[in-house]
């Protein structure tokens, strides 16, 4: 259940007319770990297992990509929407994100909301190394592939999307959610559950890029991150530090690279005939 139909009045120069619009569903999901409340996520219902598994990985709550906890539904509401779950995670699989013992409210707009300190990220490790390059034009193809599969957005205009691609630029997975961070977690979680996260080399996201999405890409081992809109200054700072090639404003065949541009393959630009350059004078 990604959308619901709502009635309204649409006003224009000729007055108002009744309309029935598909709007993106936003519902709360309470997550318990070993019987204790841990986090409340505002998300679009669907792919909840992927969302949870991606969140556990991105937030360093589970310390092994090969361990997938048992998920027990605790509550549901109409339309089969799960409202509460409990995760069984043995102590040996609990990571630093859990030992920080913070209660995280994961809202649909910004993943940092509800945190008390920027240091509560639980990410460590060397900067990503990425042999090989991507040509600039391939990012337009990636976004086209993602856009064609944004079915919920086509209905409601109210969802974000994240897509993962392999080293050849082939699409691996697309996921949507009302929250951009949730869409990223769902995409990562999907490949984790399939044991294929190691194939992902590039991520595209709709909207802007926050520093937290940069960290999610780092923790997933994805060295290329491209967005439709602008990155934040902190997203660029982290991308430079963590070894992520970060591109923004990927629209209409254009893109701006803000970190590690050496991974973008050189592109020859033909000079117009009979053109005189300043240096030639």
Pairing of strands 254-259, 245-251: antiparallel
The annotation status of 257 as a binding-site residue, yes or no, is no
| Backbone phi and psi for residue 164, each to the nearest 5 degrees, phi listed first | -120, 145
The annotation status of 254 as a binding-site residue, yes or no, is yes
How deeply is 278 buried, as exposed, middle or buried, from its count of CB atoms within 10 A (0-12, 13-18, 19+)?
exposed
At residue 225's C-alpha, the angle toward residues 175 and 196, to 5°, is: 55
Q: Which residue in the list 1, 110, 154, 265 is annotated as catalytic?
A: 110
Most distant CA atoms of the chain, gap in Å: 76
- Check if the beta carbon of residue 159 is closer than 8 Å to that of residue 24: yes
The annotation status of 250 as a binding-site residue, yes or no, is yes
Query: Which helix (H) or strand (E) covers residue 213, if one does?
Result: helix 211-219
Q: Reduced to 3 states, what is the DSSP secondary structure of residue 79?
A: helix
Is 113 part of the annotated catalytic residue set?
A: no
Q: How many of the other CB atoms lie within 10 Å of CB of 192?
A: 22
Question: Sheet harboring 171-177: ordered strands across?
Answer: 171-177, 160-165, 202-205, 224-227, 245-251, 254-259
The annotation status of 252 as a binding-site residue, yes or no, is yes
Q: Chain centroid to CA 259: how far?
A: 18
The annotation status of 151 as a binding-site residue, yes or no, is no
Contacts of 238 (CB under 8 A, 6+ apart): 211, 214, 215, 218, 244
- Check if the beta carbon of residue 97 is closer than 8 Å to that of residue 61: yes
Sign of CA dihedral 162, 164, 169, 172: negative
The annotation status of 175 as a binding-site residue, yes or no, is no
Instruction: Enumerate the known binding-site residues.
Output: 249-254
> Catalytic positions, please?
110
């Amino acid at each position: 259940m990604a959308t619901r139909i709502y009635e309204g009045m649409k006003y224009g120069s000729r007055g108002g007319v009744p309309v029935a619009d598909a709007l993106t569903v936003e519902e709360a999901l309470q997550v318990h770990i070993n019987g204790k409340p841990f986090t409340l996520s505002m998300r679009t219902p669907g792919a909840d297992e992927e969302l949870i598994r991606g969140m556990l990985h991105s937030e360093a709550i589970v310390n092994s990509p090969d361990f997938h906890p048992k998920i027990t539904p605790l509550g549901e509401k109409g339309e089969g929407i799960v409202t509460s779950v409990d995760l069984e995670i043995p102590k040996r699989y609990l990571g630093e994100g859990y030992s920080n013992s913070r209660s995280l409210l994961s809202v649909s707009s910004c993943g940092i909301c509800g945190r008390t300190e920027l240091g509560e990220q639980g990410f460590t490790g060397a900067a990503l190394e990425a042999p090989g390059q991507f040509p600039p034009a391939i990012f337009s193809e990636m976004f086209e592939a993602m856009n064609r599969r944004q079915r919920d957005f086509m209905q409601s205009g109210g969802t974000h999307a994240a897509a993962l691609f392999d080293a050849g630029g082939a699409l691996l997975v697309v996921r949507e959610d009302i929250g951009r961070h949730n869409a990223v977690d769902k995409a990562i979680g999907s490949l984790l559950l399939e044991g294929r996260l190691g194939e992902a080399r590039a991520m595209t996201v709709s909207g802007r890029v926050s520093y937290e999405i940069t960290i999610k890409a780092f923790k997933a081992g994805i060295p290329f991150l491209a967005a439709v809109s602008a990155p934040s200054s902190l997203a660029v700072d982290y991308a430079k530090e963590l070894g992520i090639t970060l591109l923004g404003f990927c629209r209409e065949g254009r893109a701006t690279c803000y970190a590690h541009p050496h991974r973008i393959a050189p592109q020859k630009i033909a000079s117009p005939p009979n053109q005189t350059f300043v240096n030639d004078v």
